[in-house]
Chains A and B, each alone.
Chain A
C-alpha cells in the first residue's frame, strides 16, 4: 500500500429508516486522511445500515455523504471498499480467479501480493467452495489489497477469523491509515487498530436522538 491516499469522508445530518422505523438521525462526522472510526452499539442500532448507506447501498433518509479524493467527481461509493456479512465469494471459481475477477472489474492491483497478505497463496488454485468460513472471510478481505481504495468500510470483519488472522487484520488497518487511508469499522471484539474516533449508536434513545458529532481535527 505505497499509494498515499488523500481522500476525506464527510457525513452530514444523515438519518436511516428501516421498515418505517428511524434507526438514527441527524448523524454527522468528518474523517480526514489517516483517520479511523470505530462504530459501536448493540444489535439493531443501525451499524450495518450506516455502513451500507456510506457505501451507497441503502438510500439516505436525510442528509448527505461526501467523499473527496484525488478525483473530485468520483462518487463516494467508488472510493470505498465494503466488506459486510456476506463474503461476495464465488464458490465455483478458484481463490485466484475470484480475486482476478475483482481486479478486472474494480480496477487494480496485484493479485499475488493480495493473496499473500492473509496467507492464501498455497490454496490459490483451489475452488473457493472448498474453503472454510474463516478462509472465505480472508478471501473477502484480500479484496482490500487487490484493488487499492482509500476508504474501508468493514462490518464485523473479524467474524470467523482466528486470533492470528485478527492480529493480521488489525495490522492491515494500521498500515492502511498510515498510508493516509480511512477506515470505518464496526466490531464486537477489540481490534488492535488505532481508532481516532468512536461513534456509539446506542448512546441515545433512537427517538430522542441528538447529533453525534465527531469533530474533525
Chain B
C-alpha cells in the first residue's frame, strides 16, 4: 500500500497508471451496474410492506454509502496534504468533492422520493436525512473554498483543514441531530430498512454497492487526471508570463 502510494506520487507515473486502468474499470463498472440494475428491477421481489418502492433502496443505499466514503477519502487526503505532503493528495481531495456531493445529492433525492409514499410528504426532518443534508452543505462549502482560492497550493491546504474540521464535526453533528430528532419527533419515524434483510434483496444491493464503488473510483481517477492536466496547463502559462516579463514586456 505504502509502496504503491509513494510509487504513484510522481504525476507522470500516475497519469500512465490512470490511463492503463481506466478502460478496464469502465468495463467493470458497466458490467456490475448493468447486472445490479437488472437484479434490482427485474429479479428482486417487491417488498410485502413497501411494494415496488423498495427498489429505490438499491440506488439510495449505495449513494449514501459513497457519500460518506467520499468524505472519508477527502479527509484522509487532507491528512495526506498536511502531514505526509503527498503531491497528489490535494488533487485526490479536489477530484473527490464534486463526486461525493453528487452522490450525497442522489441519496437525498432518492431518500425523499422513497419517503413520499411512506411519510406522505417529500421531506421530513428525519435524523438520517438531516445529517445527510448537513453533509451536503459541508461538501458545498469545500467546493466553494476550492473555487475561491486561485493558487492550488493554498487551496489544497485550506480545503484539507476544512475537511478535517468537518470530519471531527460530523460525529458531533450526527449525535446532536439524533438528540434534536428524538426531542421533536418521538418514535414516529419509520426506520428505513430493517434489522434484517432477505437475501433476495441483499444480493442486488451488494452488486449495486460494488458497481457504485467501482463507478466512483473510475470517476475519481478521471477527475484526478483532468486536474493534473489542468495544473500543467496553468504552469506552462505562468512560465510564458515570466518569460515575457524577462524580455521586457
Contact = CB atoms under 8 A, between A and B. Distances in A.
Direct A–B contact present (CB less than 8 angstroms): yes
Dominant secondary structure of chain B at its interface with chain A: helix
A44 B242 CA distance: 9
Interface residues of B, number: 10
A44 B239 CA distance: 13
A21 B238 contact: yes
A21 B151 contact: no
Contacts of B13: none
Contacts of A122: none
A20 B242 contact: no
- The winner among A20, A21, A44 for most chain B CB atoms within 10 A is A20
B75 to A, nearest CB: 23
A44 B151 contact: no
Contacts of B152: 20
B116 interface: no
Interface in A4-23: 19-21
B235 interface: yes
Contacts of A20: 152-153, 231, 234-235, 238
A62 to B, nearest CB: 13
B197 interface: no
Nearest to A23: B242
A19 B238 CA distance: 8
Contacts of A44: 242, 245
Interface string A83-96: 00000000000000
Contacts of B231: 20
B239 A21 contact: yes
Contacts of B151: 19
A27 B111 CA distance: 59
B235 A21 contact: yes
Interface of B: 151-153, 231, 234-235, 238-239, 242, 245
Q: Which 3 A-B pairs have the closest CB atoms?
A: A20-B235, A21-B238, A19-B151
